[in-house]
Amino acid sequence: MKIVGVTKCPTGIAHTYMAAERLEKTAAKLGYEIKVETQGSQGTENKLTRKEIAKADYVIIAADVSIDEPERFNGKKVFKTRIKPVLKNTENIFERLEEEYFIMGGIDAVQECDLKDSDAENAGNMIEHSDKKESTDILGQLMNGVSYMIPFVVVGGLLVSLSLSFGATTSPDGEVVFLGIWDKVHQIGALAFTLMYPILAGFIAFSIAGRATLAPAMIGAMVAMNEEILGTKAGTGFMGCIIVGYFVGYLVKWMNSWHVVKEFKPMMPIFIIPLTGVITVSALFIFAIGKPVAMMMEVLNTMLVQLAANPSSAIILGIVLGAMIGVDMGGPVNKVAFFFGVTSIAQGNLQIMGIVSTSIAVAPLSMGIAALIGKEKFTEEEKNAGFYTIFMGIIGISEGAIPFAASDPIHVLPATIAGSAVTGAFSAACGITSAVPHGGLVVALFKATNYMSLYLLSVILGTAVSAAIVLAFKKKQNCR
């Protein structure tokens, strides 16, 4: 059997490549020929050729967001899944191939493949189910926008942090002044933050209805962020941009369903759709929802600042966010907390991201250390992965702990949740901040936090708690 695959996670970092590796190893074990294309943060790698796709018996698409160029697989037997099932039980994916595939591209493509009538009917039902699932995958569409937004926030946060660390001074009247070239560095960082909003809206919309959405969604987001156009004290923030993304995405999806004469078809994506989209979304924000959303965001930001400022409420906030980070290590709950931190950076509240950044490192660091210390309680494969998992914790990739959680969730998950919650609480109580939307010890090394020593101490505390819990309760393994 010849198989091709595509993997893509929201951030395009760890899950994308871990899933590809699992598919390749399991296919080799089962005697199948496979090639997996990864669509990660560095672009498309190991790209599938037309010839390889044509020869493949099945296509496996393991993705939590929409993939690039899905039309390449029209007419092929496609099995679609999220990343997590691949990491949890890869063999099961291959067992389900023949029973749960659908034909990409619709009934016409099914008929071209010379399937039996019953197979075509079944495939048609699967296509309808798949389309319905994709259209209602709200979180996946949001994460698609976030994955494209993150590099802008990372660059902006690092530049702003560096300019504040090395080139800032305070004038007698309390104003922050940047010296020499650092003023330019700070301005470039601010530009990166400005771009994050249209990027977020644009690629939420893009995941719904393709490239025709980019212009109206990005321009609409800039309108939603412009207080002068809206007539408000401030823009609508990330919430307004999310609304723009979904509104434009589904507006364009509806417009794409119009039956227009062939003379107008070439004009739809380059003129009619962008112009109609911009006018519609701008009018929506100027005359209807701009002021209420801006007011809601102002209240939300004020509430967060007050929660973070009060020691007792800050600790509760830290426990909740830390536990969310540790519960599924890069999964949906983790991503919600992470997105909360990212958007708080844009609102000027760096303490929320401080809680998230420190908590991200706990799961991989603790599991890697535990595997090296308590060798009799881990398999040979887990022990060999110990150093690699620790490294992933240092650079802020919580997904490194997923293999440990997948093999023994009953003992690992309570440990990672507890340790991450301890780190989150300590970070909140100490007022630790992070100016970049990332986690791990690298945040402190890049001086993107206000208290480097406390940042490191918060990670060490949670890691110690998590490692101690898993070593105390995890049972001995029959090591391979």
Confidence band, pLDDT 50/70/90 cuts, at residue 477: low
φ/ψ of 103, rounded to 5, equals -95, 120
Residues 162, 300 within the same domain: yes
Both tokens of residue 378?
């881990």
Residue 21 lies in a domain: yes
Residues 254, 341 within the same domain: no
Both tokens of residue 12?
């395009």
Residues 149, 287 within the same domain: yes
Residues 215, 347 within the same domain: no
Both tokens of residue 154?
């990372």
Per-residue pLDDT for 292 more than 80? yes
Residues 290, 315 within the same domain: no
Residue 480 lies in a domain: no
Report yes or no: 311 and 429 within 8 Å, Cβ to Cβ: yes
Report yes or no: 221 and 278 within 8 Å, Cβ to Cβ: no
Residues 341, 217 within the same domain: no
Picking from 135, 155, 174, the residue at the C-terminal end of a domain is 135
Total domains, the chain: 3
Which of 224, 239, 236, 337 shows the shortest CA–CA distance to 282?
A: 224
Picking from 81, 108, 135, the residue at the C-terminal end of a domain is 135
Neighbours of 180 (CB within 10 A): 8
- Residue positions annotated with a catalytic role: 9
Answer positive or negative: Cα dihedral of 163, 169, 175, 177. negative
Residues 115, 145 within the same domain: no
Length of the chain as a residue count:
480
Residues 399, 324 within the same domain: yes
* DSSP element (H, E) containing 81: strand 77-81
Picking from 110, 135, 160, the residue at the C-terminal end of a domain is 135
Residue 416 lies in a domain: yes
Q: Tokens 């992470």 appear where?
A: 338
pLDDT of amino acid 386: 86
Both tokens of residue 269?
């994506």
Task: For 22-34, give the secondary structure using H, E and C.
Answer: HHHHHHHHHCCEE
Report yes or no: 245 and 202 within 8 Å, Cβ to Cβ: yes
Q: Which of 28-32, 66-70, 182-186 shows the highest mean pLDDT?
A: 28-32
| Cα distance between residue 137 and residue 246, in whole Å | 11
Range in 9-23, 27-41, 71-85 with the lowest mean pLDDT: 9-23
Confidence band, pLDDT 50/70/90 cuts, at residue 124: very low
Residues 142, 233 within the same domain: yes
Neighbours of 413 (CB within 10 A): 19
The amino acid at residue 37 is E
CATH number at residue 43: 3.40.50.2300
Domain that holds residue 348: 310-473
Rounded to two decimals, what is the model's pTM? 0.65
Residues 241, 380 within the same domain: no
pLDDT of amino acid 193: 83
The amino acid at residue 205 is A
pLDDT tens for each residue of 95-119 = 999 888 888 875 333 333 333 333 4
What Å distances lie between residue 44 and 7, 24, 342, CA to CA? 10, 17, 25
| Cα distance between residue 382 and residue 393, in whole Å | 15
Per-residue pLDDT for 418 more than 90? yes
pLDDT tens for each residue of 377-415 = 888 878 888 888 898 889 888 877 877 887 788 999 999
Task: For 144-181, give the secondary structure using H, E and C.
Answer: HHHHHHHHHHHHHHHHHHHHHHHCEEECCCCCEEECCH
Residue 479 lies in a domain: no
Range in 77-86, 168-177, 320-329, 349-358 with the lowest mean pLDDT: 168-177
Residue 478 lies in a domain: no
Residues 174, 213 within the same domain: yes
What Å distances lie between residue 453 and 80, 450, 456, CA to CA? 45, 9, 5
Strands 102-103 and 77-81, bridge-based pairing: antiparallel
Residues 113, 13 within the same domain: yes
